[in-house]
């Protein structure tokens, strides 16, 4: 057999990983070191050389995108459909197992998945049920806690709350919430994982079955695994299994959501005989950028250790721009992007990265003013839109009348005269008799305990749902969806919405019908499920793209977190200021500070060719003018790798980097503050210098004409 394609284009370290003998292996893959290639070729190696059965391979990622990419690349490499292989996200795989084994997992057959938004709503209901004040017991806080416990594999019953009243209440909320989920036949994201772990741990037969089956387990982004995910991996591999984990401790940026960097750090202790390989050759960035990233991350302690290198070019220095304020910062970045585009670059090759999403606004304004199309990542996803969630809630009620979250969502959407009073009544009855809202409604109506108006409205709603169910039985999913949207009155409801978004919303609803069509024939891994259940699970597990028009050539705006895994020729990282980056909520705790530094490391290593960092000397924050200090991270980048760019001569604050200022690298022969003469504008003073070579620009304050930006090469300035 010809195995050349599998070993082609691999460096020594990559080849060692791909061809390693079965057994626990940890691959420390630096940014841009070809980790996806290694994962893909490893799978190909297992399938061909090791003659592994596709059936025996399980590859786990964190995002749907990563899973899809891996599958596509395997199919491309091996030229066949990668069927039989299990490739998916932790949640997708857990979901699949729970659908197969819903009985053993003690779930209802048509259990539904709660997304983050549904979860908060449900917790809010639970709080009311416990008669806890929402002011004191913020639902979001409680959700945060519950999720953190689930991430750690803890049930309410496991938590020791002896001496802490606050904790005790949260545990009570957790227990009540667990019960509510149970009654409603819903599971949240954390539950998918926790339930699966319990299933594999407590059901010896099933555990043994899957351990025997998945002889080869591969994990991407291993540094981001939380405790439950780690427990899942241990359960599925056993002690001596073939586990191939790829990750980078220096890119662990999700500690705040339960990820345990220790998982990658102590891999060798948990999997005896484990080997470690390092991928340190980088194929993405210039040497300057890598040197900067290496120097920065060297300030962290307890690293597994790794040093990126390249045999590519050294590259240009990193520009550091000290902006006068946040608007000036945006102006500068946008001008640079414009110049890049004028020189033939694509807008989509430019990324503006920031620590917090609020920073995007100023950039958006500047980009609009400059008529540059852009795309902001991380907005509302398709399946998270209110009108879509309303439609899905109807569908969920069709699938499962006990789904209280959905019931509450649409019982009065569109408004049909069912108010808070009626609902309170319903909730009370549901609680007393431990039944779902749907049954509570039926009983209240049967017992005639409601005022006539409310009773009519409620009866109309129940009848509507029953009618929808009857009229759509046996029809294809897209027809069901279209029917529900139309006859529940959602389309009309959305159209009369007056903020001008009505038509957009109607279009989204139509798009939902198209999305449903894709589930009329189920992919093999979902075989046996009802199309409706599969569609609803998909909506929860894969919320869709944030923002449309991915294909248009536009400037990319995103948080540093969302930039992980991506690369761009031109990267701008804005807001290198103390309290913003590192964020003030993280700068006190050394562990959190290190995570911030890793975030900076992730940011720097996104850049392929050119990197520009900026900070503002003033910034508007929460309506207040603040005077931030440059970020400590700037000081951790060796000065010889950077080049200060200053737009103004009036910078008054101390430099971020002590020592001699490398003045705005200029081959124009001009000096800040120097006097010059222009053929038509006359005499003036140099205010600013920017860029170099053919693109060097200079700002001059002319006595007569005022301040002007000139391209040095054309301006014919002479020194006075």
Partner DNA sequence: CGGCCTTAGTTTTTT
Partner DNA sequence: ACTAAGGCCG
Residue 320: which residues within 8 A CB-CB, separation 6 or more? 576, 612, 613, 614, 615, 634, 642, 643, 644, 645, 656
Nearest approach, Cβ of residue 123 and DNA (Å): 11
* Strand bridging mode 697-702 / 682-690: antiparallel
Q: Is 53 in the site for DNA (CB under 7 A)?
A: no
Q: What is the DSSP letter of 629?
A: P
Cβ nearer to DNA, comparing 358 with 661: 358
Residues of this chain, 609-648, that bind DNA according to CB under 7 A: 620, 622-623
31 labelled binding-site residue: yes
Catalytic residue among 69, 188, 191, 221: 221
Q: Is 239 in the site for DNA (CB under 7 A)?
A: no
Q: Quick one: which segment of 264-272, 316-324, 354-362, 565-573 binds DNA (CB under 7 A)?
A: 354-362
Catalytic-residue membership of 36: yes
Q: Quick one: which segment of 337-345, 388-396, 585-593, 686-694 binds DNA (CB under 7 A)?
A: 585-593
356 labelled binding-site residue: no
Cβ nearer to DNA, comparing 505 with 697: 505
Nearest approach, Cβ of residue 420 and DNA (Å): 6
String of DSSP letters for 26-71 = EEEE-TTS-HHHHHHHHHHHHHHTS---GGGEEEEESSHHHHHHHH
Q: Quick one: which segment of 56-64, 96-104, 171-179, 628-636 binds DNA (CB under 7 A)?
A: 56-64
Q: Name which of 323, 331, 322 is nearest 364 in CA terms.
A: 331
Of residues 15, 128, 443, 583, which one binds DNA by CB under 7 A?
583
Catalytic residue among 26, 96, 385, 606: 606
Cβ nearer to DNA, comparing 73 with 610: 73
* Strand bridging mode 216-219 / 242-247: parallel
Name the H helices within 343-476. Answer: 360-369, 386-399, 404-410, 420-432, 437-446, 452-472
Catalytic-residue membership of 221: yes
Q: Is 64 in the site for DNA (CB under 7 A)?
A: yes
Catalytic-residue membership of 35: yes
SS3 at position 80: coil
Catalytic residue among 220, 249, 250, 617: 220
Cβ nearer to DNA, comparing 115 with 617: 115
Catalytic residue among 14, 26, 35, 198: 35
Asked if 352 and 574 count as a contact pair (C-beta separation under 8 A), the reply is yes
Retrieve residue 342's tokens. Answer: 């004028």
Binding mask 530-569 for DNA (x = CB under 7 A): -----------xxx--x-----------xx-xx-------
Residue 240: which residues within 8 A CB-CB, separation 6 or more? 23, 272, 273
482 labelled binding-site residue: no
CA distance 480 to 470: 10
Q: Quick one: which segment of 330-338, 413-421, 523-531, 691-699 binds DNA (CB under 7 A)?
A: 413-421
Catalytic-residue membership of 447: no
Asked if 608 and 568 count as a contact pair (C-beta separation under 8 A), the reply is yes
Of residues 2, 342, 420, 527, which one binds DNA by CB under 7 A?
420
Cis ω for the linkage preceding 707 (within 30 of 0): no
Catalytic-residue membership of 311: no
Nearest approach, Cβ of residue 472 and DNA (Å): 26
Long-range pairs for 346-349: beta carbons < 8 A, 24 or more residues apart: 346/553, 347/372, 347/373, 347/374, 347/553, 347/554, 347/555, 348/553, 348/554, 348/555, 348/556, 349/568, 349/569, 349/570
Catalytic residue among 14, 229, 251, 668: 251
72 labelled binding-site residue: no
Nearest approach, Cβ of residue 63 and DNA (Å): 3
Q: What is the DSSP letter of 75?
A: H
Nearest approach, Cβ of residue 680 and DNA (Å): 40
Catalytic-residue membership of 556: no
Q: Calculate the alpha carbon distances from 70 to 238, 541, 544 in Å.
A: 25, 18, 18
Q: Quick one: which segment of 85-93, 279-287, 321-329, 441-449 binds DNA (CB under 7 A)?
A: 85-93
SS3 at position 281: strand
Cβ atoms within 10 Å of 467's Cβ, excluding its own: 12
Q: Is 514 in the site for DNA (CB under 7 A)?
A: no
CA distance 683 to 564: 49
Of residues 356, 434, 514, 663, which one binds DNA by CB under 7 A?
356
Nearest approach, Cβ of residue 86 and DNA (Å): 14
35 labelled binding-site residue: yes
Asked if 302 and 249 count as a contact pair (C-beta separation under 8 A), the reply is no
Q: Is 81 in the site for DNA (CB under 7 A)?
A: no
Partnered with residue 612 across adjacent β-strands are 319, 572
Q: Is 586 in the site for DNA (CB under 7 A)?
A: yes
Q: Quick one: which segment of 58-66, 523-531, 679-687, 708-716 binds DNA (CB under 7 A)?
A: 58-66
Residue 500: which residues within 8 A CB-CB, separation 6 or more? none
Known catalytic residues are 35-36, 220-221, 251, 606
Binding residues: 29-36
Binding residues for ATP: 29-36
Contact positions toward DNA, by CB under 7 A?
A: 62-65, 89, 91-92, 115-116, 124, 134-135, 189-190, 256-257, 355-358, 378, 412, 415-420, 541-543, 546, 558-559, 561-562, 583, 585-586, 592, 620, 622-623
């Amino acid at each position: 057999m010809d195995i050349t394609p599998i070993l082609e284009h691999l460096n020594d370290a990559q080849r060692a990983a791909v061809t390693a003998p079965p057994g626990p292996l940890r691959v420390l893959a630096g940014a841009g070191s070809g980790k996806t290639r290694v994962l893909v070729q490893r799978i190909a190696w297992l399938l061909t050389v090791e003659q592994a059965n596709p059936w025996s391979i399980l590859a786990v990622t964190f995002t749907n995108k990563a899973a899809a990419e891996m599958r596509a690349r395997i199919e491309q490499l091996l030229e066949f459909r990668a069927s039989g292989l299990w490739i998916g996200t932790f949640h997708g795989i857990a979901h699949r197992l729970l659908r197969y084994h819903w009985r053993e997992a003690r779930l209802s057959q048509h259990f539904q998945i709660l997304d983050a938004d549904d979860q908060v709503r449900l917790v809010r209901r639970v709080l009311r049920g416990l008669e806890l004040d929402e002011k004191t017991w913020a639902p979001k806080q409680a959700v945060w806690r519950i999720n953190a416990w689930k991430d750690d594999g803890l049930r309410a019953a496991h938590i020791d709350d002896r001496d802490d009243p606050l904790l005790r209440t949260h545990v009570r909320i957790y227990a009540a919430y667990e019960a509510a989920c149970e009654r409603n036949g819903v599971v949240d994201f954390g539950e998918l994982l926790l339930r699966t772990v319990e299933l594999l741990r407590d059901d010896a037969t099933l555990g043994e079955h899957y351990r025997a089956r998945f002889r080869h387990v591969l994990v991407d982004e291993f540094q981001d695994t939380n405790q439950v995910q780690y427990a899942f991996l241990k359960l599925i591999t056993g002690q001596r299994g073939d586990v191939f984990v790829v990750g980078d401790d220096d890119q662990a940026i999700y500690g705040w959501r339960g990820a345990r960097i220790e998982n990658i750090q102590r891999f060798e202790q948990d999997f005896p005989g484990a080997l470690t390989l390092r991928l340190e050759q980088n194929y993405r960035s210039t040497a300057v950028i890598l040197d900067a990233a290496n120097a920065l991350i060297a300030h962290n302690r307890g690293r597994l250790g790794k040093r990126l290198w390249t045999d590519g070019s050294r590259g240009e220095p990193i520009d550091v721009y000290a902006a006068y304020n946040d608007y000036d910062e945006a102006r500068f970045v946008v001008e640079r992007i414009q110049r890049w585009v004028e020189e033939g670059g694509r807008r989509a090759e430019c990324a503006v990265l920031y620590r917090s999403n609020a920073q995007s606004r100023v950039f958006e304004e500047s980009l609009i003013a400059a008529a540059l199309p852009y795309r902001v990542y991380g907005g509302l996803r398709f399946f998270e839109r209110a009108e879509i969630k309303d439609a899905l809630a109807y569908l969920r009620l069709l699938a499962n009348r006990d789904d209280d979250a959905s019931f509450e969502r649409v019982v009065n959407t569109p408004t049909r005269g069912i108010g808070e009073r009626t609902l309170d009544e319903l909730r009370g009855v549901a609680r007393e008799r431990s039944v779902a809202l749907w049954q509570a409604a039926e009983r209240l109506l049967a017992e005639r305990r409601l005022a006539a108006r409310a009773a009519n409205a409620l009866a109309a709603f129940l009848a509507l749902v029953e009618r929808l169910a009857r009229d759509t039985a046996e029809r294809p999913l897209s027809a069901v969806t279209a029917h529900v949207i139309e006859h529940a009155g959602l389309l009309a409801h959305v159209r009369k919405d007056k903020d001008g978004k009505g038509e957009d919303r109607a279009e989204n609803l139509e798009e939902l019908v198209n999305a449903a069509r894709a589930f009329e024939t189920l992919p093999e891994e979902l075989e046996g499920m009802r199309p409706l259940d599969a569609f609803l699970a998909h909506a929860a597990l894969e919320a869709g793209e944030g923002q449309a028009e991915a294909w248009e050539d536009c400037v990319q705006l995103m948080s540093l977190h969302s930039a992980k895994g991506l690369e761009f020729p031109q990267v701008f990282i804005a807001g290198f200021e103390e309290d913003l980056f590192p964020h003030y909520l993280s700068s006190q705790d050394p562990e959190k500070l290190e995570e911030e530094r890793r975030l900076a490391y992730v940011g720097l290593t996104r850049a392929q060719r050119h990197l520009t960092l900026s900070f503002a000397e003033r910034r508007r924050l929460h309506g207040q003018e603040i005077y931030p200090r440059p970020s400590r991270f700037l000081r951790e980048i060796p000065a010889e790798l950077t080049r200060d760019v200053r737009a103004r001569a009036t910078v008054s604050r101390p430099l971020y980097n002590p020592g001699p200022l490398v003045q705005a690298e200029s081959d124009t022969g001009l000096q800040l503050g120097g006097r010059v003469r222009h053929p038509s504008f006359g005499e003036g003073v140099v205010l600013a210098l920017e860029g170099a070579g053919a693109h060097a620009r200079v700002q001059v304050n002319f006595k007569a004409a005022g301040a002007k930006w000139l391209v040095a090469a054309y301006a014919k300035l002479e020194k006075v």
